[in-house]
Structure formats: structure tokens, C-alpha cells
Structure 1
Amino acid sequence: MTSYFNDVAVWQPHDLAYFKRLKAYGSRGVVVKSSQGGYGGTPYINSVGKLQVINAKRAGLKVALYHYGTFNSLRYGQADPASEAKLMANTAKAWGLGKDTLMVLDAEDSSLRTKASADAALFFNELKRQGFHSFDIYGPGSWFWAGRLKIGTSYKLGGWPASYGSSSSGVSGAKAWQYTDNWKGLGVDGSLDYGGQYTTKSAEPEQKPEPKLTKQNVDDYYYTYNPKRVIVKRTIYQHKNNQLGSQANRGRKLKPGTAIDIASVHFSSDKVPVPYFKLANGTYITANRWFVNNAYYELSNLKTIKVIKPTYLYRDLHRTKVVKRSGFKSNKWPKGTLFDVKKVIHWQGGFVLKLTNGFYCTAYKKYVKKIK
């Protein structure tokens, strides 16, 4: 889903009301100018940047930083881009931002060398050495078209070109596009985020405080049964044994959106037994609802669904007798079809939906979506 975001500098307000207003107009993220130049020349730090970061976060916006680059390794040596990266890194740290902050290089100044991407690599190398690991590059669309700036590369740059008065950025594969300098008439740059890195939360899970578990509430926080299949909500790891708190036991990293089949559910030997899942390959993952989501609808409050992938309806709970669609080439009900749900049935370790028309269908979220 495409979302709006804005970039701000010293010229924009820094109070909470301003960022709440941006959010009310539909913005989901803000890129704050942190700095310009470097220690070898005339370093500049946005005097209101820290307040902009604080209040943007308080308003519920995702925050990234950008540095306006003026380096040129041909004139001043290879240490010049690194000097500017150090200024940006130190500013981010001073403002209390973590190493997972998206760090954007603004590459548009006339002082940059023609092969700006070569110096950009030196800039990102230094940021990486400082511990940061999320990067992107901004610049005029024409610079991307001419090859002066490049997306992708070993830094996984999504690309954020600027191109006004056009129907798109014109840069194939770009993950963001700055399309106006007067977004919603508010006198601030406006951009579209196609890749999610400017407007959604980090893929790395925030740490949710562990609740005080009791035998009565453990099911509120963990799956105490085998849901057969789960979808990863926040990054987790497979573990070699059931010691899920040990980093030494970590195996494969599972990213959000990954579907995992569950072989069995087990419980710890704690005073309040904590569930965890075993997979068919003998590894283990958490059964915490904060990190994984049942791939099937399980709650009785489901009222209406929409077909999102063509699927069959059945006359029986075992789902062996397909409902025939007279006059149609396929017996599958097409995408967009709405059905009212009478009951969510826990059946043979999984879930099946009984519809108000008397038929049955899958509760798998890959095929049907909850409407209400």
C-alpha cells in the first residue's frame, strides 16, 4: 500500500501540533534534515532537528534522517565523504536515534562529482562502520536517469527520486517518489512511499513487556493449541532446541509474512507452562501471539468475509462435496465475492467457516479476508 511522507528542515515548524497536522492530512512518516557538510569543512547541524524528531515521534510518525551532501573525493580526497557521514552519525546518536534509523543521503548539490554514486558508497561505508544499517539515496530524477545515482547496490538502496509535474518518478524500480514541494498546500515537500521503509515500522520487533502470566490468561498471549499454520508478524528465529531465549541456539531468520506449518505444540516446565511450537524439521519457534498470527480465522466474532483468491464452497464439513456453480466454467467463487459467516468451527486441529447459506469454506487468510 502506497503512503505519504514528508521531509522537513529548519524552515519547517518543530512543535507537536505541526506534526499532528501532517498526520491528520495523511502523512505517515517524516525525514528530518540532520546535517550538511562535514568536519573537514563547515559542518552544519539542523538547530531544531532534535525537536522535530521528538515531536514527529510523539505524533506517531516514522522518523528517518537525511544529510545534504557536499563532498567530492576528487577535490578533497576519499576521507571527505566519510567526514560528512561521521557528522550525520554523531548527530543521529546525539538526538537519541537508534542504529536501525533510515539514513538518507541527499545527493543533489552541484559540488558533487559526476559519478556521485562512487562517493555515495564511501559515505555509506562510513555509516555502516558507525553501526547503522538502513540506507537510501535521494536526488533529482535526471541524476538517476543519467546514471549519476544508482538504486539497489550492496546497500539495498530503494531510491527516492524527485520529479515534479509528472505522472511518476520515471525511475524504474524506485521505492519512493518526491512529487511536490507544496504538499496539501502546507509548504512542505510531499512524497509517496512504495516500499514501506519511510512510513512503516522497522521489521525488527520492538520488545513488548512480558505480561504476568497465569494459568487463566496464558491463552491471551500464547497459542495453547496447534493452529497448524501461522504467519510471522514480527521477525523471529527458528531455534535448534526449546531454549528460545538463547541467541546461541538461533537458526534461520523468519521475516514478517512468512507462513510456517506447525507440527506440534509443547509447554515449558515453568510454574505457569509457556507454549512453544515444534516444526516438522525438528526446530522450534515461539507461540507468542505478539510474534506469530494464526493463518486461519479462529474467533467467533467473524461476521462477513470477502474472497481474495478464488476458492471452493463445500456442502459438508469434511469439505469433500464441492458446491457446483451452474452456468460457470469454474466451481471456484471469484475474487471479491462476499459471504456472511454463521459460525467459526474448530475442526480436526484447524478452522472451517460455516456460512449463512449453509455451505462451508476455508478459514485460511490467504483465500478469504475479514470484512466485519
Structure 2
Amino acid sequence: MQMSKLVIDIASYQGTSVSYFKTFKAHGVDAAMVKLTEGTNYLNPKASAQVANAYKVFGAVGAYHFFHGNGAAEAKYFLAWVKKFGLDKSTVLAIDVEASGLPYNTTPQVNAFLRCLLNAGYKNVITYGSGSWFNSGRINRSQLIDKHIWVAAYGVSQPGVANANAWQYTDNFYGVDCSYDFDGSLSGSKTVEKPSYYVTPGLYQVRLRWLPVYNTMDFKKSDERYTRYGIGSRFWATPVKHGKITRLHINGQGYVSSNKLYVKFLKKAKTK
């Protein structure tokens, strides 16, 4: 297991200069997350300088958005500034879910936000929230379309949420918030696993909120069926070779992905 990295997160209250960030590097910090936007009309006035100079010092910088509940609209606003600041698609982008006015079940709109980022090609996304929000279900990790989470929990010996990817353990690390990045999800240093695919006929269960069904193995949008399988749905299927990977063939229904991130194998089909 790799050693946890230290990542600070900053906003308009913090400094912008190269020397400011070098102070944190001297204290062992590896990367910074910079607040860019909030809602659909706020931009951190220091964001441009903070992004540029944090990158000069650490060689790694991410960005976050303070969320007010309007998933798609806020994601589009955030992405516009992400692109204006020249942050490429390897950049870690976070959604900060803590505003008091959010509905109790905020997960659907968080997913709408994340979906926009993923569809735009930004695959390194992470959801920030307090441990209590994750544990109470206000942010339901099992329903998130991306499971990477950044948990805030102060004055304790662990984040208190199982398998957290990052833990904001203090709001006063030489005057700023600081987090342990357990697996590279926050600092952008994680190893991206290649997708793997099932090859065994049997019973499968859907992991995604919705798994599309296609008439052919090409998975073209025009070939998508009206029928979709929701999270937890089960079906019997046979893997069929498609190039270097497989698709799952469901008799009378069509084809779905055999990607292990999308479906879970439950048991083998009985042989006659």
C-alpha cells in the first residue's frame, strides 16, 4: 500500500504566491485543491493565480466546486472555468457537498453534476462531504455514479466512513484545510485500472443506476433499446466475444456491457 499524500484545499481566504505554496511544500504537502466556483455565478477571484502557482510548486493541482443543488447547471458553469484555466482532462475535479440548504437526499443532483463532468471527459472526479452526511445517507455512496469520496472528519483517528479515498482530517494545518489522500484519488496520482470483462455464463446484477441494452454488439446510440436495467436488476446472460472484449447476451433482450465496473457476477449457469 502506498503512503498517503498530503493535499491542502484553498479558497479566496488563502494566499496565491509561489512562496506561499512553497511554505506548504516544506511541510510535506504534495498537491492542492483550489476552489473555482460556487452555484452558477460565483468565481473565486484568486483562482487563476492559485491554480497557476500551486501547479508550479507541486506539479499537481485540482479544482472544486461548492454545490448548491442544481446539478447540470452548476456543472456546466464549473466546467466552463475549468477549461478557461487550461485544466486538462487528467485533472481531479471535486464537488463540495455541504451547503445547509441542500435537500436531505441530495444524491440525484450530485449524480447529475458528476455525469456532466464524466461526459465531458473528466474521469478523475470525487465527492466531498462530512462523514455524517455519508453515514446518514444524505450522500448515498452506493447510488453515486462515481464512488470516489473525500470525507471530512475532524478530531478523530479515522474518517469513519469505510473505504474513503481521501480524508480531510483538519481545518488548521498551518492555517488551511488538509487531507490524507489514501490512493491518489485526490492528488491525481492514482493508477488507472484497465477495464476487465466477464467471460462466464450465469446470473449477473447491475451496479449502475441504469444499464443500457442494445440490439447489437456495436453499442451505437441509434441501436439502443428502450428497455434499460436499473441498479440491482438481475438477469441470466452469456458472454459473447466482441473484438478483444466480450458483451453479455440476454436471450430475447439484446446485449449489455460485461464490464466488471458495471455488472456483478453472481453465479454460474447450470450445465445440462
TM-score normalized by the length of structure 1? 0.50
Cα distance in 2 for partners of 1:13, 1:151 equals 33
Check if 1:101 corresponds to 2:101. no
- SS of match in other structure, 1:181: strand
The residue matched to 1:66 in structure 2 has which SS? Answer: strand
Distance 1:45 1:167, change over 3 A: same
SS at match of 1:109: coil
Counterpart selection for 2:79 from 84, 89, 97: 89
Q: Quick one: which amino acid aligns to residue 129 of structure 1?
A: N
Q: Which amino acid aligns with 1:140?
A: S
Q: Aligned-pair distance for 1:202? A: 6.0
SS at match of 1:59: helix
| Residue 103 of structure 1: how far off its partner (Å) | 1.1
Instruction: Kindly report which structure 2 residues correspond to 1:198-213, keeping only aligned pairs within 5 A, or say none.
Output: 198-201=186-189, 203=191
Q: Would you identify which runs of 4 or more consecutive aligned residues in structure 1 move more than 4 Å?
A: none
Q: CA deviation at 1:154?
A: 5.9
Structure possessing the higher radius of gyration over alpha carbons: 1
Structure with greater strand percent: 2
1:17 pairs with 11, 16, 19, which one? Answer: 19
- Pairing of 1:291-302 with structure 2 (within 5 A): none
Q: Report the counterpart of residue 366 of structure 1 in structure 2.
A: none
Aligned-pair identity in percent equals 34
Aligned pair in 2 of structure 1 residues 200, 24: CA closer, same or farther (>3 Å)? farther
Q: Indicate conservation of the 8 Å contact 2:153/2:169, yes or no.
A: yes
Count of residue pairs the alignment pairs up: 195
Letter in 2 for 1:189: D
TM-score (norm 2): 0.67
Of 162, 177, 191, the match for 2:167: 177
**How far apart are the structure 2 equivalents of 1:157 and 1:128?**
13
Quick one: structure 1 residues 121 and 202, their matched pair in 2 at CA, closer, same or farther if it must change by over 3 Å?
Answer: same
2:105 corresponds in structure 1 to 115
Corresponding residue for 2:51?
A: 53
Distance 1:113 1:2, change over 3 A: same
**Any idea what the Cα deviations from partners look like across 1:38-84, whole Å, max 9, x if unmatched?**
1xxxx10111111111111110242111100012xxxxxxxx31110
Q: Distance in 1 between matches of 2:15 and 2:128?
A: 22
Counterpart CA distance in 1 for 2:110 and 2:18 is 33
Over residues 17-40 of structure 1, what are the superposed CA-to-partner deviations in whole Å (9 max), with x where a residue is unaligned? Answer: 1111111101111110010001xx
Partner of 1:33: 35
- Three-state SS of the structure 2 residue aligned to 1:189 is strand
In the TM superposition, residue 198 of structure 1 has moved relative to its aligned partner by: 1.9
Cα distance in 2 for residues equivalent to 1:251 and 1:23: 44
User: Structure 1, residues 115-170: CA drift from partner, whole Å, max 9, x if none?
Assistant: 11111011111222333222111111110110111336564332111111111110
Contact 2:90 2:123 in 1 (8 A): yes
Match of 1:63 among 54, 57, 61: 61
Unaligned stretches of 5+ in structure 1?
Answer: 72-79, 205-233, 236-249, 253-372
**CA positional deviation for 1:203:** 4.4
Alpha-carbon deviations, 1:178-209, whole Å to 9, x = none? 111111xx2100111111122353647xxxxx
Mapping for residues 1-372 of structure 1, pairs under 5 Å: 1-38=3-40, 43-71=41-69, 80-151=70-141, 153=143, 155-183=145-173, 186-201=174-189, 203=191
Q: What RMSD over aligned residues (CA atoms) do the two structures have, in Å?
A: 2.1
Which whole-Å deviations, capped at 9, do the CAs of 1:209-234 have from their partners, x for residues lacking one? xxxxxxxxxxxxxxxxxxxxxxxxx9
**Would the aligned equivalents of 2:183 and 2:190 in 1 still touch at CA under 8 Å?**
no
CA gap 1:25/1:86 in 2 versus in 1, 3 angstroms: same
Change (3 A) 1:145 1:14: same
Any idea what the Cα deviations from partners look like across 1:234-272, whole Å, max 9, x if unmatched?
A: 98xxxxxxxxxxxxxx968xxxxxxxxxxxxxxxxxxxx
Higher relative contact order, structure no. (Cα contacts within 8 Å, ≥ 6 residues apart): 2
